[in-house]
Structure 1
Amino acid sequence: MSAPDNPLLTQSSLPYQLPPFSRIKPEHFLPAFQIGAAEQLAQLAEIVSNTDPATFENVLIPLETAGTTLTRTVQVFYNLISSMATPVLQWVEGQLSPRLTAHQDEIYLNRALFERLSTVYATRNDAGLRAEQIRLVERYYSDFSRAGASLGADDAEILKAYNQQLAVLSTRFHQNLQAATEAAAVIVDDPAQCDGLSADDIAAAAAAADERGHHGKYLLTLILPTGQPILPRLNNRELRRRVHEASTSRASSGEHNNGPIAIEMAVLRAKRAALLGFSTHADYVAADGTASTSAKVDALLSQLVPPAVGNARAEAAILAELAAADGVEIAAWDWLYYSEKVRAVRFELDTEALRPYFELNAVLQKGVFFAAQALYGISFEPREDLAGYHDDVRVFEVKNESGEPLGLFLGDFFARETKRGGAWMNSLVDQSAITGLAPVIVNNLNITKPATGEPALLTIAEVKTLFHEFGHALHGLFSDVGYPRLSGTSVPRDFVEFPSQVNEMWQFWPEVLQNYARHVVTGEALDHAVIDRIRAAELWGEGFATAEYLGATLLDQAWHRITTDTVIENAQQFEAEALENAGLAMDMVPPRYRTTYFQHIFSGGYAAGYYAYIWAEILDAETVEWFKAHGGMTRANGDKFRSELLSVGGSRDPMAAVRSLLGREPEILPLLRRRGLMAKQPLTSP
């Protein structure tokens, strides 16, 4: 296929090299991959054939500039397969994923290339290189070493086979999950059963049912985590049970059963880790993070489990008492419902009544963008002339205070049938000085799309997610590094959530909240007394939230602490035993993700790394206190956070960057205070 026929084969002529989505077709990806992979291998072969002594200029620079066609193809494809996974694209993914894995192995297992890289690595501190260049050499050396570059020929072939199998299984896992999640959507015949939902919610459910061919019915779709956001509002207990069980049983049986896939992947990862010289896959992952060892991960988690479980049990007792007054013996599907009642009674909060104050466009532009402008001086201009990959995608040009162009931000906020669950950030174009490219960043959420003409009203949790994901976007947009390998969010997995979690603090910052939290119909600002009650209620439910998160985290660790001789016959049994051993076997508090829909670890890059959220929250909680101690939302604070952390990507040791900001080593106490894990007084009934 020639370049004019395949837009992936040439540099985009659109501003910021935004991909020309209207011209890109599914049939373009495999040819572009084949051509791009061949180009990259030919470019890397020139490094090996060069007879001059190995230097930064003739090894690292070609490594960084090789493969532009392949990079462009892969970045576009994996953005689309996450958000527009049509059957045709899923077929392409099945073809592309193992080929890409094989291509990466061909690069990283190239012994001659590794030898030239090793020469540069050995002399890096004596070659007059800048700090960022030394960092680049070290990251590449680590990449090749961890990928098996020093293995013998026989072991390298074994490793390739493991990687191929894992690529195929990972693709199958997430395709199974998507199909199972769509199939698990709950169909309701009678709208009376939806009592508690707003008229807008019911209209959206009717529209979703109609779209999928269930005319005259109502469809309650599922999001990725166990806890479904409609449960606190459903007065019909039987429907609550149906929704909860649909969520927790996803992909656990039948044609889309992910249990056997999870077992096979965990075993393959254990074998691969052993081949690479590590005791377990968890040890392999921790070694490349700021944690550095599994023992340090254990030390953190062991401090959190007992108080979290204690708080969750105290909350359960309160909820059971409240449910008993209704003649109900409380079950897992009742937890969120009665927890909401506690908020209503104890804190006089009706979160459903608050949703009209959190309209999507207002939260985005008068909340998220407003906070970023106040902190960093940046501006956002809608680019109606630029199109995303779907009609729902909105494009904004981001500029510095001086008017200097910074990059593009794309927002894709609504759920749809072809979109995977959860929320995430993607990069379509990575910033680097060596390529001269500016960043193009995408945020994806899964907010229920309202009926035509109706506003999109968010829950408090969805507002938090919007701020969180934009924190990732800022990490990409502010990147100011020399080399693509170090750009944006190219930092250790247990550090990448830190900037995004810090950005959550602005959700309830007074001047930000007052700016965006206005009633969608009347324009009335959210009352200060209500804001005070929201803040007062922040600790309620932290026992549940921490325990369900730790359940998922320790389940992830259990799957990736197995060794090559571990025998697992049933995924559900393994999960139950893992939670029991972790002290988190609580029927009322299932893990945030159960094995068969734990996308993060079986198809999302977080294998043995889901601890990253709580690990990064230590740094986040410390940084929030730093902001408050230094005057809060000021340009001086924003500029320092940007220069010390957000702009440096992976060009600097991340913990050194944190120490530079804080002026000392971070501590765990702010995190414990935030999550109520230091409380000495027991919870009491409302």
Structure 2
Amino acid sequence: MLASPLPDAAAAQTPRAAPDQTANPLLARWTTPDGVPPYDRIRPEQYEPAFDAALAEARTDYRRIADNPAAPSFANTIEAMEGAGRPLGRIASTFFNVASADATDAIQGVEERVTPKLTRLSNDTLLDPKLFGRVDTLWKARATLQLSPEQARLLQETHSRFVRAGAALNPAQRTRVAAINEELATLGVDFGQKLLADQKAGSVLLGAAEVAGVPEDQRSAAAMAAEAAGHAGSFLFPATRSAAEPFLTAAPNRAAREKIWRAFVMRGDNGNANDTNAIIARMVALRIERAKLLGAESHAAFVLQDQMAKTPAAATELLMRVYRPALVRAKEELRDIAAYAAKDGIAKVEPWDWRYYAEQVRKQRFALDEGAVKQYLLLDNMVAALFDTTNKLYGITAHERKDVPVYAKGVRVWELREADGRTIGLFYADWVARPTKRPGAWMNSLRDQNTLFGELPIVVNNQNIVPPAPGQPAQISVDEARTLFHEFGHGLHGLLSKVRYPSLSGTAVSRDFVEFPSQVYEHWVTEPETLRTYARNAAGEPMPEAMLQALLTSRTFNQGYLTVQQLSSAILDMRLHALTSLPANFDARAWEAAELKALGVPEEVGMRHRLAHFSHIFDGGYSAGYYAYTWAEVMDADGFQAFKEAGNIYDPALAAKLRREVLERGNTRDPAESYTAFRGRMPTPEALLRNRGLGGE
């Protein structure tokens, strides 16, 4: 979120008297270790007054720049904006970190009230004619300014941000764009809060017979959750991916599987007060209207203008190159699954059957059991593998910090250091699920690296791993282990940044490049060297070699299903946002069903993210951008192949080049230039198809 807003004119002229906030830790000087947020002292009711005070200060900062009588210069305009509203940025990053990870009722109330204020200020900044006039003057004179490459990039990105926000429009159009932005921001918050509420309400209570055959770690966690909810003797499963997918994979009870599947898949689509379908229709309509005001035929066309893909057609072409062979493979997989299910008298495989019977086929074909594998994937061991991989690649060490205040129970903090002992930054890890945490996994920043103000980075990783029973180690799936490495790849992108300006720091790159550093990092977790060292059970015994080899051999198993699920979500995102007008009486549920049928997605497979709970595109900044995971996977498959070709997956020269040309660069140059500087050329999809077992040379 851009923390660089201006107020409406009336508010700027007649600021109201602010209440005394001398005791508010958010507004005082932070004397915490390394200047981290003072989470141990912040109360929810202190956020909104702090925002109001910081917003007023930001108004003053931006007004001073806009009204500067001196001729525009890079220093008094572009660089000055980097320093404007800094307290607001600090408070916003502190708050929205909590709003995602521990969204209590009090925090949600603050979010509802603050988000429109922030959006209004962002609009007023980016649509301010005087401020844009100064930026535009510099942009037109850029060839004469003798800027460094990083300064030139910052000017380019700043000018583009203003233009894409609508600064070059006429006054009536600017006013309408501002109103749309504000409504969209409010709708996004509403979508996220309704989804979280529906997810909480969708928790499923099962009896002992219904969980028979489910691994002990799942049963224990569910029993503990049920007891905490006042249902001792039962088993409570939240409607989250981390709870649903393991259950669907392991539970022999078909009726129980259906209950869990429906609770998970129907989130946001239950026709109740938390239904999100009307929000979706309104958001899509507003996005279309805004795109046309800004000169694009669709929201997708507008979004992709400044991405690597450039056009919806190019993004869709890549998706379809992978989708078509994946669909063929998924249909082959369905035949295998149906044959196995028929042994249990099941004439038609349903969506809640797929994972269970796929697991039975996998056991038969590879002598591999996911429940048995998880016993060797302990969270603490995989964390050790994560830090060891980082050390081998970059010489970086991780040192846990117990003196840093955190925002919720279970959050851990590490300080990352260079080989010579210099501090790189701080890493907050919030891996365990809680009822107040939004679904999924993500990385965010509490402070961006920059040399302009001499600041070291602070990044946060979130997952939703089901907490283990008291005294038991947390076991995770292979997918959760990959996610652990994936999010830390994002974290390293933020931590290893070496740029001058905060706006260009770390992960502030195009959406279809930001996933490359995270996805390439996933490869190391399933390498034999990693598993032989760190895949150990609670007794410290290593994963049996036969199991390890079976795990490696089965890496492409069920990839048709998984790929179709992911890409159908990406294709529908692109098609939805490529609409040039919203059909009359648009119904998101019916539109989704029709598009899936046209795409040929088997009902037994379905989408990874149905529209009703597709947080990425309605509450996460990925609208017309979910394709980015596949776009980046082309790069990560090709990029990791370089390490394979070197004969050493920790090759120091390659690691140094990846760090220097990608991780340290932030957004100081075009991402295609960064990838080419690392790999020597742009990638092709063949490595991706080969990795997924879908073809390729």
- What TM-score range do you get, normalising by the shorter chain? over 0.9
Contact 1:387 1:393 in 2 (8 A): no
SS of the equivalent of 2:325 reads: helix
Tell me the equivalent position of 1:24.
42
Provide the C-alpha distance between the structure 1 equivalents of 2:502 and 2:318, rounded to a whole number of angstroms.
33
User: 1:635 Cα deviation (Å)?
Assistant: 2.6
SS of the equivalent of 2:296 reads: coil
Tell me the equivalent position of 1:594.
610
Contact 1:267 1:563 in 2 (8 A): no
Tell me the equivalent position of 2:674.
657
User: 1:652 Cα deviation (Å)?
Assistant: 1.7
Provide the C-alpha distance between the structure 2 equivalents of 1:81 and 1:311, rounded to a whole number of angstroms.
40
Provide the C-alpha distance between the structure 2 equivalents of 1:258 and 1:163, rounded to a whole number of angstroms.
19
TM-score (norm 2): 0.95
1:605 to 621, 632, 646: 621
Provide the C-alpha distance between the structure 2 equivalents of 1:46 and 1:134, rounded to a whole number of angstroms.
23
Structure 1 stretch displaced more, 293-302 or 620-629:
293-302
Q: Which amino acid in the other structure matches residue 86 of structure 1?
A: T
Give deviations 1:280-310, integer Å, cap 9, x for gaps. Answer: 0001111121111112112212222221111
Tell me the equivalent position of 2:157.
139
Provide the C-alpha distance between the structure 2 equivalents of 1:220 and 1:584, rounded to a whole number of angstroms.
32
Tell me the equivalent position of 1:684.
none
Tell me the equivalent position of 2:293.
275
Provide the C-alpha distance between the structure 1 equivalents of 2:562 and 2:243, rounded to a whole number of angstroms.
12
What does residue range 21-420 of structure 1 map to in structure 2 within 5 Å? 21-188=39-206, 190-224=207-241, 228-252=245-269, 253-329=271-347, 330-365=349-384, 367-420=385-438
User: 1:514 Cα deviation (Å)?
Assistant: 1.9
SS of the equivalent of 2:246 reads: coil
Provide the C-alpha distance between the structure 1 equivalents of 2:164 and 2:43, rounded to a whole number of angstroms.
35
Contact 2:308 2:513 in 1 (8 A): yes
Label 1:3 to 1:634 Cα distance change in 2 as closer, same or farther (>3 A).
farther
What does residue range 569-584 of structure 1 map to in structure 2 within 5 Å? 569-581=586-598, 583-584=599-600
Provide the C-alpha distance between the structure 2 equivalents of 1:438 and 1:402, rounded to a whole number of angstroms.
16
Contact 1:415 1:446 in 2 (8 A): yes
Give deviations 1:46-98, integer Å, cap 9, x for gaps. Answer: 22222222111111111001111110111011100101100011111110111
SS of the equivalent of 2:462 reads: strand
Give deviations 1:353-379, integer Å, cap 9, x for gaps. Answer: 1112111111102x1011001101111
Q: Which amino acid in the other structure matches residue 564 of structure 1?
A: S
Does residue 557 (structure 1) correspond to residue 587 (structure 2)? The answer is no
Tell me the equivalent position of 1:647.
664
Provide the C-alpha distance between the structure 2 equivalents of 1:25 and 1:60, rounded to a whole number of angstroms.
35
User: 1:351 Cα deviation (Å)?
Assistant: 1.4
User: 1:452 Cα deviation (Å)?
Assistant: 1.2
Count of residues paired in the alignment: 676
SS of the equivalent of 1:426 reads: strand
1:470 to 461, 472, 488: 488
1:6 to 16, 24, 36: 24
User: 1:482 Cα deviation (Å)?
Assistant: 0.3
Tell me the equivalent position of 1:625.
641
Contact 2:218 2:247 in 1 (8 A): no
Tell me the equivalent position of 1:678.
695
User: 1:123 Cα deviation (Å)?
Assistant: 2.1
SS of the equivalent of 1:77 reads: helix
Give deviations 1:21-44, integer Å, cap 9, x for gaps. Answer: 011111121111111112112111
Label 1:558 to 1:567 Cα distance change in 2 as closer, same or farther (>3 A).
farther
Provide the C-alpha distance between the structure 2 equivalents of 1:198 and 1:668, rounded to a whole number of angstroms.
38
Provide the C-alpha distance between the structure 2 equivalents of 1:461 and 1:622, rounded to a whole number of angstroms.
21
Provide the C-alpha distance between the structure 2 equivalents of 1:225 and 1:95, rounded to a whole number of angstroms.
31
SS of the equivalent of 1:455 reads: coil
Structure 1 stretch displaced more, 133-142 or 526-535:
526-535
Contact 2:412 2:430 in 1 (8 A): yes
User: 1:196 Cα deviation (Å)?
Assistant: 2.3
Does residue 427 (structure 1) correspond to residue 458 (structure 2)? The answer is no
Provide the C-alpha distance between the structure 1 equivalents of 2:423 and 2:330, rounded to a whole number of angstroms.
48
Contact 1:551 1:591 in 2 (8 A): yes
User: 1:226 Cα deviation (Å)?
Assistant: 11
Label 1:404 to 1:473 Cα distance change in 2 as closer, same or farther (>3 A).
same
Contact 2:166 2:294 in 1 (8 A): yes
- Calculate percent identity across the aligned residue pairs: 39
User: 1:520 Cα deviation (Å)?
Assistant: 1.3
Gaps of 5+ in 1: 681-686
Q: Which amino acid in the other structure matches residue 479 of structure 2?
A: A
User: 1:248 Cα deviation (Å)?
Assistant: 1.4
Contact 1:280 1:563 in 2 (8 A): yes
Contact 2:127 2:167 in 1 (8 A): yes
TM-score (norm 1): 0.96
Provide the C-alpha distance between the structure 2 equivalents of 1:208 and 1:178, rounded to a whole number of angstroms.
17
RMSD (Å), alpha carbons: 1.5
Structure 1 stretch displaced more, 247-256 or 508-517:
508-517
Structure 1 stretch displaced more, 524-533 or 128-137:
524-533
Contact 1:554 1:579 in 2 (8 A): no
Q: Which amino acid in the other structure matches residue 285 of structure 1?
A: V
Contact 1:32 1:69 in 2 (8 A): no
Provide the C-alpha distance between the structure 1 equivalents of 2:439 and 2:186, rounded to a whole number of angstroms.
20
Give deviations 1:516-561, integer Å, cap 9, x for gaps. Answer: 111112x111123322211111111110011001111112112211
User: 1:568 Cα deviation (Å)?
Assistant: 4.1
Structure 1 stretch displaced more, 667-676 or 263-272:
667-676
User: 1:634 Cα deviation (Å)?
Assistant: 2.6
Tell me the equivalent position of 1:524.
541
Provide the C-alpha distance between the structure 1 equivalents of 2:209 and 2:29, rounded to a whole number of angstroms.
55
1:637 to 650, 654, 664: 654
Q: Which amino acid in the other structure matches residue 365 of structure 2?
A: R
Contact 2:327 2:601 in 1 (8 A): no
Contact 1:226 1:593 in 2 (8 A): no
User: 1:2 Cα deviation (Å)?
Assistant: 4.1
Provide the C-alpha distance between the structure 2 equivalents of 1:567 and 1:69, rounded to a whole number of angstroms.
45
Provide the C-alpha distance between the structure 1 equivalents of 2:242 and 2:670, rounded to a whole number of angstroms.
32
Provide the C-alpha distance between the structure 1 equivalents of 2:274 and 2:199, rounded to a whole number of angstroms.
10
Structure 1 stretch displaced more, 525-534 or 75-84:
525-534
Contact 1:16 1:437 in 2 (8 A): no
Label 1:297 to 1:183 Cα distance change in 2 as closer, same or farther (>3 A).
same
Provide the C-alpha distance between the structure 2 equivalents of 1:623 and 1:98, rounded to a whole number of angstroms.
41
Q: Which amino acid in the other structure matches residue 52 of structure 2?
A: Q
Give deviations 1:243-275, integer Å, cap 9, x for gaps. Answer: 111111111111111011111111111111111
SS of the equivalent of 1:381 reads: strand
User: 1:565 Cα deviation (Å)?
Assistant: 5.1
